[in-house]
């Protein structure tokens, strides 16, 4: 390519309609498995049991885990409870009535990655927790609405930030969404805070994992000694919703829905 560094835009791997179809298939498997795992969530269940269920379902779909073995991550599912933001490791922890549980899950099928996340209530949760889940999911859909050709990554980022801050919540800054395709993490990064009109310009064929991680209190996070689990610094609640999305000439296409 010559002596000059590639621009951010040039490193982005655009997908053909056929590739987007294949990504739709891997992401549909992710969506189906997330729904089955969600249905198993109730007080008394261990997070490890949810991981075992997800692993069995991957086999059934002849897909492989996107997460297990990634930088040494030991499970197929991330299970982040209450003040845990992302990357909680499934364990013998027993879910209790009133907990909120973020389920982040990724699969590879036919060489293409799928990646999505939901946060679900365990039994009956507080009104404040319900509001956090609702606002975080709304932020995801407002962000997805911006994923159209000619817009910029900053439009996606700003849509998340604006919505959650208007509700008194904060967007995590230390973790971001990402391009996705034959790799789980591709360019560009997709932050959950930013300025409209800034950043990479969106083109037809870009595929993005958009994933607001939203805290009820401050945006700061710390990683626990296990090297994975990110928690809110103030130990207030956090929620996470994620979809993989394709930018098409007709606007955003959500890949990770049923």
Residues 96-115 that bind Co ion (CB under 5 A): 115
Contact between 42 and ligand MF3 per CB under 6 A: no
Query: Could you tell which of ligand MF3, Co ion, none binds residue 67, using a CB distance below 5 to 8 A set by kind?
Result: ligand MF3
CA distance 252 to 258: 16
Which of 136, 98, 97 is CA-nearest to residue 117? 136
Query: Could you tell which of ligand MF3, Co ion, none binds residue 78, using a CB distance below 5 to 8 A set by kind?
Result: ligand MF3
Residues 77-96 that bind ligand MF3 (CB under 6 A): 78, 87
Contact between 50 and Co ion per CB under 5 A: no
| Helices 127-145 and 153-166, axial angle in degrees (round to 10) | 160
Contact between 209 and Co ion per CB under 5 A: yes
Taking CB under 6 A as the binding criterion, the range among 10-18, 65-73, 119-127, 198-206 that sits at the site for ligand MF3 is 65-73
Residue 34 · residue 50 · CB < 8 Å: no
CA distance 215 to 99: 15
At 166, list the tokens: 């208007």
Residues 208-227 that bind ligand MF3 (CB under 6 A): 209
State the minimum distance, in angstroms, from the CB of residue 179 to Co ion: 10
Residues 122-181 that bind ligand MF3 (CB under 6 A): 178
State the minimum distance, in angstroms, from the CB of residue 117 to ligand MF3: 6
Taking CB under 6 A as the binding criterion, the range among 69-77, 91-99, 136-144, 247-255 that sits at the site for ligand MF3 is 69-77
State the minimum distance, in angstroms, from the CB of residue 250 to ligand MF3: 26
Residue 240 · residue 119 · CB < 8 Å: yes
Q: What is the DSSP string of 44-87?
A: T-BHHHHHHHHHHHHHHTT-EESSTTGGG---SEEEEETTEEE-
């Amino acid at each position: 390519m010559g002596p000059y560094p590639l621009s951010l835009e040039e490193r982005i791997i655009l997908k053909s309609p056929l590739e987007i179809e294949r990504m739709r298939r891997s992401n549909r498997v992710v969506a189906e498995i997330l729904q089955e795992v969600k249905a198993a969530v109730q007080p008394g269940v261990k997070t490890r049991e949810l991981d075992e269920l997800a692993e069995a379902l991957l086999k059934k779909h002849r897909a492989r885990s996107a997460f297990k073995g990634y930088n040494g991550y030991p499970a197929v599912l991330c299970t982040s409870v209450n003040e845990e933001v992302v990357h909680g490791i499934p364990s013998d922890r027993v879910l209790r009535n009133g907990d909120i549980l973020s389920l982040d899950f990724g699969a590879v099928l036919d060489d293409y990655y799928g990646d999505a996340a939901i946060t679900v209530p365990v039994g009956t949760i507080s009104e404040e927790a319900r509001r956090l889940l609702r606002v975080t999911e709304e932020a995801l859909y407002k962000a997805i609405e911006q994923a159209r050709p000619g817009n910029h990554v900053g439009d996606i980022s700003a849509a998340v930030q604006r919505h959650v801050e208007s509700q008194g919540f904060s967007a995590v800054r230390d973790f971001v969404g990402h391009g996705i395709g034959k790799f789980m993490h591709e360019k560009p990064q997709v932050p959950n805070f930013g300025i409209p009109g800034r950043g990479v310009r969106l083109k037809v064929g870009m595929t993005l994992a958009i994933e607001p991680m939203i805290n009820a209190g401050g945006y700061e996070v710390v990683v626990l000694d296990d090297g994975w689990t990110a928690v809110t610094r103030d130990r207030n609640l956090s929620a996470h919703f994620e979809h993989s999305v394709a930018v098409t000439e007709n606007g955003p296409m959500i890949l990770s829905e049923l």
